[in-house]
């Protein structure tokens, strides 16, 4: 059960409906206001706890947001009340260096859950909440206890298929509301990153580090740097500036829209090799209903070579169809078949987990085993395939020996990290955009091998996909999407690639963007107003563009009029016929209580009146 922490009447509307209404409708228009919307799922944990009269930390329901509203660096009261009224979400104060207003809603779970009590059902709950709100927010934050945070992050990374938006899990060692707290920095930094940076991954933020979620593990019970990514570089570092390493980002390269896989196989477990381990323990652990096991072995994947009894039990289990994945007990490194003891495991049917963490290996097993459409051979292959950036198999992705930006930097005698990053942010977007305009797929592929991030933005925040959607070449758009271009990025004018495709009426491109999960965003009345303009001018092609983008063709503008009202008012019969094909509301009333038929009669639009006349 969820509690919506935005001071609303839950008897009148559901929590999710309220959040959507906050975004789609507001007291002022948002056409020229650069805002990002973030959904915060407060599941529990130390971060939101409050000390009771005995000084003991306890979760207190319904207190989290009320206390946040008293923190001026977490809540801009003046802007919020002007923008949303007194019942609105929370808004971060704007600073000179911010590019967007950060608006965030908090959904508080009831009851609040200690992370040591987290189960697979809770992972499914979180995934479903993201699914229900996916089109209404630019990013998501999960406030979570630290004990099982890496398990939840790993599980979500697999469950959230074809993810196109950022999901950050964070927590703290000390509550936000204590005088000396890591929670405030973790939460605030997570909000800013989620609102401003295009990183379509499930991440963990802790200390000053943004890490890939399925690469993390908890390394300290007391340190403010409690999490580490032992086998993979950081995605970003929050210093004075937030420095994102875009080369490390794992982008989905399939032409599919976001999907939540909510079935997990619970018959999985971990077993750790230790000296003098008994055969009975191994045999008992491997008995049905177990279907998947993560075996934590010594060093690079070794087990005692003189324990044929253990090898025999492991081999018998794999022959029964149990998937056993071998990973190292070490915090860094990976397993290999370099030594004879590890070769025994391979011969017994045990597969390599490469450099996966225990959390990633276990949750991946639960995910892969739940895929009923995959046969056993496919499941074995998927466990050894890099699905979400969770493992490093074979050689790392190839980049040209002489990095293009590095070559230019040398010729310009640039040595500082900041100047180097600035050079890359100028060169790559310009070259990508030039390749798009010249319809040069070979050059696009070459630029990627030189280290270009295909979703990198130029000074106006526009990506190669924005340009391609204006140019209208379907093959280029398809190529960019297969290379991992993100369909959700907004430029400085709040335009997504879908916005550009609509305004240039590229219908086939709109279809493929929708197929990949693109959706309309922003104030519904503004979208309604644009469709009303199209109806006024008789632009059926533009209305078709909006229809392909899943717009509601009966959407009202700020005067309460729909496209059908304006088509009737201006006698646009072709528009009326088009709208009637899609069963728009024929008897809707504007703020002056007039229907489209009433307007047609009032201005003498005879043909329109005939089409709209109510049945006798």
Say whether 116 counts as a known binding-site residue: no
Strands 323-328 and 351-352: parallel
Q: What is the DSSP string of 273-289?
A: --TT--HHHHHHHTSTT
Q: Using CA atoms, how far apart are residues 214 and 389, in angstroms rounded to an integer?
A: 8
Report residue 319: phi and psi, to 5°: -70, -25
Max CA-CA distance within the chain?
97
> Could you tell me the two tokens for 404?
């293009």
**In the annotation, is 146 catalytic?**
yes
Q: Using CA atoms, how far apart are residues 29 and 369, in angstroms rounded to an integer?
A: 48
> Could you tell me the two tokens for 579?
């709208």
Say whether 146 counts as a known binding-site residue: yes
With a CB cutoff of 8 Å and minimum separation 6, the contacts of 424 are 405, 451
The per-residue b/e assignment along 163-173, b for 16 or more CB within 10 angstroms, e otherwise, is bbbbbbbbbbb
> Could you tell me the two tokens for 211?
């890490």
The angle subtended at Cα 38 by Cα 34 and Cα 42, nearest 5°, is 160
Number of helices (H) and strands (E) in the chain: give both, helices first: 24, 20
Alpha helices in 36-162 (DSSP H): 64-68, 77-84, 120-133, 149-159
How many residues belong to the chain?
A: 616
Quick count: other Cβ atoms within 10 Å of Cβ 374? Answer: 14
**Active-site residue (options: 43, 46, 248, 573):** 46
**In the annotation, is 46 catalytic?**
yes
Say whether 147 counts as a known binding-site residue: yes
Quick count: other Cβ atoms within 10 Å of Cβ 547? Answer: 19
Element (H, E) at 471: helix 464-471
Closest C-alpha among 258, 321, 303 to residue 515: 258
**Active-site residue (options: 43, 80, 146, 463):** 146
With a CB cutoff of 8 Å and minimum separation 6, the contacts of 219 are 225, 226, 227, 228, 331
83, 27 contact by CB (below 8 A): yes
Give the residue numbers of the binding site for substrate.
Answer: 115, 146-147
Give the residue numbers of the binding site.
Answer: 115, 146-147
User: Catalytic amino acids?
Assistant: 46, 146
């Amino acid at each position: 059960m969820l509690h919506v922490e935005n001071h609303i009447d839950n008897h009148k509307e559901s929590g999710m409906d309220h959040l959507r209404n906050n975004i789609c409708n507001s007291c002022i228009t948002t056409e020229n206001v650069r805002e990002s919307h973030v959904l915060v799922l407060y599941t529990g944990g130390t971060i939101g706890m409050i000390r009771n009269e005995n000084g003991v930390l306890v979760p207190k329901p319904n207190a989290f947001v009320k206390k946040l509203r008293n923190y001026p660096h977490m809540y801009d009261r003046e802007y919020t009340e002007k923008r949303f009224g007194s019942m609105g979400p929370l808004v971060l104060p704007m600073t000179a260096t911010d590019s967007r207003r950060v608006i965030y809603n908090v959904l508080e779970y009831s009851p609040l859950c200690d992370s040591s009590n987290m189960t697979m059902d809770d992972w499914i709950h979180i995934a479903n909440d993201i699914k229900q709100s996916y089109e209404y927010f630019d990013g998501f934050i999960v406030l979570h206890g630290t004990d099982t945070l890496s398990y939840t992050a790993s599980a979500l990374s697999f469950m959230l298929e074809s993810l196109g938006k950022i999901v950050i899990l964070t927590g703290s060692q000390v509550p936000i509301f204590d005088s000396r707290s890591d929670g405030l920095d973790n939460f605030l930094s997570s909000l800013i990153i989620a609102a401003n940076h295009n990183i379509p991954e499930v991440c963990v933020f802790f200390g000053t580090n943004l890490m890939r979620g399925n690469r993390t593990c908890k390394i300290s019970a007391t340190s403010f740097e409690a999490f580490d990514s032992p086998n993979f570089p950081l995605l970003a570092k929050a210093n004075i500036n937030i420095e994102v390493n875009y080369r490390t980002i794992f982008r989905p390269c399939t032409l599919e829209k976001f999907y939540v896989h909510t079935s997990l196989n619970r018959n999985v477990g971990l077993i750790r090799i230790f000296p003098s381990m008994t055969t009975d323990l191994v045999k008992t652990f491997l008995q049905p209903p177990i279907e998947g096991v993560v075996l934590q072995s010594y060093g690079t994947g070794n087990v005692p070579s003189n324990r044929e009894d253990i090898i025999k039990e492991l081999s018998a289990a794999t022959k029964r169809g149990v998937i056993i994945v071998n990973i190292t007990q070490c915090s860094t490194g990976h397993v290999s078949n370099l030594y004879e003891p590890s070769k025994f495991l391979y011969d017994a049917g045990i597969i390599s987990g490469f450099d996966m963490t225990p959390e990633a290996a276990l949750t991946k097993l639960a995910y892969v085993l739940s895929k009923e459409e995959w046969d056993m051979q496919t499941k074995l292959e998927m466990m050894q395939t890099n699905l979400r950036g969770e493992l490093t198999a074979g050689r790392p992705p190839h980049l040209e020996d002489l990095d293009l930006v590095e070559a230019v930097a040398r010729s310009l005698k640039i040595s500082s990290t900041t100047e180097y990053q600035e050079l890359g942010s100028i060169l790559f977007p310009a070259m990508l955009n030039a390749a798009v305009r010249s319809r040069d797929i070979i050059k696009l592929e070459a630029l990627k091998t030189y280290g270009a991030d295909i979703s990198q933005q130029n000074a106006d925040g526009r990506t190669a996909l924005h340009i391609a959607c204006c140019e209208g070449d379907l093959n280029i758009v398809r190529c960019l999407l297969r290379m991992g271009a993100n369909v959700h990025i907004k430029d400085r004018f709040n335009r997504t690639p879908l916005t550009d495709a609509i305004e240039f009426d590229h219908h086939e491109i709109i279809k493929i963007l929708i197929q990949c999960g693109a959706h309309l965003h922003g104030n519904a009345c503004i979208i309604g107003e644009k469709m009303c303009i199209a109806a006024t001018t008789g632009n059926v092609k533009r209305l078709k563009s909006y229809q392909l983008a899943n717009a509601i063709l009966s959407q009202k503008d700020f005067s309460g009029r729909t496209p059908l009202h304006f088509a009737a008012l201006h006698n646009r019969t072709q528009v009326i016929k088009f709208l009637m094909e899609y069963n728009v509301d024929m008897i809707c009333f504007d703020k002056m209580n007039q229907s489209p038929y009433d307007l047609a009669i009032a201005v003498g639009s005879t043909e329109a009146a005939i089409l709209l006349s109510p049945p006798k």
